[in-house]
Structure 1
């Protein structure tokens, strides 16, 4: 009789150990799934931010847009505005007044087109994509002072920032590109 009770206690201990191991495995799997979903959301939002930056660069190099007097490329438009002082000015993704929504990947980048409309990067899940160009300063580009010294050509430094956000997400992902462009010096 004593052996049957001991076997029953031993069986219950083994069963409890297997239950704890099973619960720990399920809990670990659920946590890994949440982390994978979060990383996928961040990756999609980053891709949308990159698409917004690509749209700015693409439009700034489109010769038809550059020659159309009714259209202004994003870098020229930024140069016409105020110089952004990065020490005092914030280029936040959540400051909606300064941003341009870009439809740069729903149907791809098309030449001779301004991609300024509702910035839907992808529909399932809904991912928004938007960008901003900011004119930072006019100076000699690094390594170029010997080439343009004494001429009326200067280097214009721009910040191009793209943001992406999944619908319903509490966060936006941003990426920034610094662009230096040779152009006539301001007088």
Structure 2
């Protein structure tokens, strides 16, 4: 299982892509650069793509703020981010149908919302997304679904219980944008 980049590694990657080989972030763009790294949720592809896009922008706070605010719409319209969007969308299209439904269900929650594990699997079961398995309880099957989405880096664990079990989860902002676009067309 690939882990998302740490904040430090994500910062280094963004600075290399956005500011060139010296990777030195101007002080006036530090806060916005940190927001970009956070918005990418540790996804190297997303950080590199957005860093490349920002490298072509003037190093002016208002320009960067506008770009950050319109990032969701730019995923489909900007040619530099279209490859990132296509690659992130592949993660969705490579899923079996029952997991596609589970992933799309994250669109029912607000962007950036942490969702408690127990609540999520009960909702999936109630919606009929969990396929019956005579050998296993539905809750166990739903837990396996969530583990698969986490293993594919489409869902991120935001909190673990002391037992190591997932306590709550969240989808990356860029994955959320893809989910939101897919659910709008339904």
TM-score tier after normalising by the smaller chain length: under 0.3
Q: Which has the larger radius of gyration?
A: 1
**Could you tell me the TM-score, scaled by structure 2's length?**
0.24
Higher helix share: 2
